[in-house]
A and B are shown apart, each in its own frame.
Chain A
Amino acid sequence: MTTLNQADPSATNDVAPHEHGDHRMFGVATFLVADAMTFAGFFAAYLTFHAVNPLQPDAVYELELPLPILNTVLLLVSSATFHKAGQKLRLADNRACRQWLMVTAVLGLAFLVSQMVEYFTLPFGLTDNLYASTFYALTGFHGLHVTLGALMILIVWWQCRTPSGRVTAHNQFPLEAVELYWHFVDGIWVVLFLILYLL
C-alpha cells in the first residue's frame, strides 16, 4: 500500500513492501520457477525433436565449440562478480559494489557480443531447418534474458551511486532480486550449453 520506487528494476515483478513483512524475494523466486518452466518447455521440445525427428539429409546444422565455451566462462565469472558486488553492498561499501556491478554488466554485454558473433558466423539461418530454428529460439530467448539482466544491473548500478540512494545496505532488495535473476540466467545457460552444444 505504501509507495516504492516505481522505476525499480524488479518492476517486472511489481512488488511492494507490506505491513506483513517483506516477501518480495519469495515472489521473485516463484516468478523464476515459472520462467524456468518456459525454458523447460523449449528444452522438452528440442529433446523430442532430437529423439524423433532426425536431421534431413541435406540440412546444415553444425555448431562450433570455442565461442560457446568462452560464453560459458563469461557468464560463470559474471555470477561470481555479482556475488562480490552483493557482499560489498552488505558491508555498505557502495563504491566497491558499483565497481563489481559494472564488471558484471560488462561481462554480460561481452557475452551478448560473443553470441552475436556466433550468430553471424554460423552456417545456417533461422528458417533453414528444424534444428536451426530451435537453436535460435532457445539461444535467442536466453539472450533476451541476458539483455534484460544487463539492463537491470545497470539500473541498480545507477541506483546505488550514493550511500543515500535507492539501493543501500538497508534496502538491498533490488540488488538481491537482480542477483537471483542473474544466477538463474547463468544456470539456464549451463543447461542450454549441455543440451544444445554437447548432446
Chain B
Amino acid sequence: MILVLGGLWIGQNINLLPVDASANAPVYDELFRVLFSIGTILFVGIVGLVVFSLVRFRRKPDQLGDGLAIEGNLPLEVFWTAVPAIVVLFVGLYSYDIYDRMGGMTPLNHGMDHGGMQHSAADHKAMEGMDESDAMAGRVWGGIGNGSAISTSAENAVAAVPIEVTAMQFAFLFRYPQGDFISGELHVPAGQPVSLRMEAKDVIHAFWVPEFRLKQDVIPGQPTVLNFTPTRPGTYPIVCAELCGPYHGGMRSSVVVEEPETYQAWFNANNKLNVADA
C-alpha cells in the first residue's frame, strides 16, 4: 500500500519532461504520469522483492541443506497472469483514448478536408479510388490528423494554418501557401490549429518538437501530415530524429510560437500574395 501511494506520489510529482507548448502536450503528460506511476510501483516492488529475497534467504554459513521444494502454485500463477493482463489492457485502452484525443485516430485522408487544405480535391480522389493514378499526389500515408481534443475546443472555428514542410539534407523548409513564401524557421500563431503537410526530397527525416511531444517521419515519396495547436509562446527546437546522413545531428531548426498579432505581422511582412489572409 505504501508502495502504491509512493509510486503515485512519485509519478505525479517528479517531472522529467520539458515544458509543454502544444494542446496535446498536457494530454501526453497525463499519460506519462500514469505510466510513470505504474512503472515506479512495479519496478520498486520487484527490486524490493529481489533484494529482500537475496538478504532474507541467503545461505548462512551453518546452513547446508536445500530450500523448500515448492514447484509451483496454480492460484498464484493465475494471479500474476491476470493482474498484468488487466494492467496492460487498461494501459492500452487508456493510451488509445489519449491517442484519439491527440488526433491519432482521425482517418488521414478524410481529416485533410477539415484541415482546410488546398489539396482537398485530390484528397477526395484518394479516398474514392486508389487505382486512379493521379490520386497518388494527394494521398497521405501517415501522421496525426485533427484530434477531437482540438476540434471540440473553441479554436475549431478558426481554420487550421496550412504549412508545407520540405525536409532535405540537412534542413527543413517551411512554405506558407497562403502567402506563397518560404521560411527557414517555422512561425505559428498560439492557440490556432496548424496543419503541416510534409515530404522529403532525398532520404527519410523526422520532424520532432520535444515541447509539442510530437514527431512524424518525413518520407520521400509519401506525404505525411501533422496537426497540432501550439499554446505557449516561445521558441522551441525542431529536431531531425531519423538518421539522415553525416550532418544528421546538426539538422535542427526552430519553431517560433507567437501571439496571433505578432504572427500576423510577421506573416504580412513576408506575404508575397496581395490577397488578404483568411
Contact = CB atoms under 8 A, between A and B. Distances in A.
Contacts of A52: 130
A55 B136 CA distance: 10
Determine chain A's interface SS by DSSP, over half rule. loop
B131 interface: yes
A57 B133 contact: yes
A21 interface: no
Most buried by B among A52, A54, A57: A54
A5 interface: no
A121 interface: no
Contacts of A56: 133
Nearest to A58: B133
Interface string A51-63: 0101111000000
Interface in B111-145: 130-133, 135-136
Contacts of B131: 54
Contacts, number: 10
A54 B135 CA distance: 10
Interface string B49-86: 00000000000000000000000000000000000000
Task: Bin the interface of chain A by size.
Answer: under 10
Contacts of B135: 54
Nearest to A55: B133
Interface string B253-264: 000000000000
Nearest to A51: B130
B221 to A, nearest CB: 9
Nearest to A56: B133
A57 B136 CA distance: 11
A52 B131 CA distance: 9
Nearest to A57: B133
Most buried by A among B131, B132, B133: B133
Most buried by B among A52, A55, A56: A52
A55 B131 CA distance: 8
B93 to A, nearest CB: 29
Interface string A102-144: 0000000000000000000000000000000000000000000
Interface string A18-58: 00000000000000000000000000000000001011110
Contacts of B130: 52, 54
Nearest to B130: A54
A56 B136 CA distance: 9
Nearest to B135: A54
Nearest to B133: A57
B219 to A, nearest CB: 13
B123 to A, nearest CB: 16
B157 to A, nearest CB: 36
A174 B136 CA distance: 52
Interface in B229-253: none
A160 B136 CA distance: 59
A165 B133 CA distance: 62
Interface string B131-170: 1110110000000000000000000000000000000000
10 contacts: A52-B130, A54-B130, A54-B131, A54-B132, A54-B133, A54-B135, A54-B136, A55-B133, A56-B133, A57-B133
Interface of B: 130-133, 135-136
Sorted nearest first, the 8 A-B pairs with minimum C-beta distance are: A57-B133, A54-B133, A54-B131, A54-B130, A54-B136, A56-B133, A55-B133, A52-B130
Given A54-B131, A54-B133, A56-B133, 7 more contacts: A52-B130, A54-B130, A54-B132, A54-B135, A54-B136, A55-B133, A57-B133
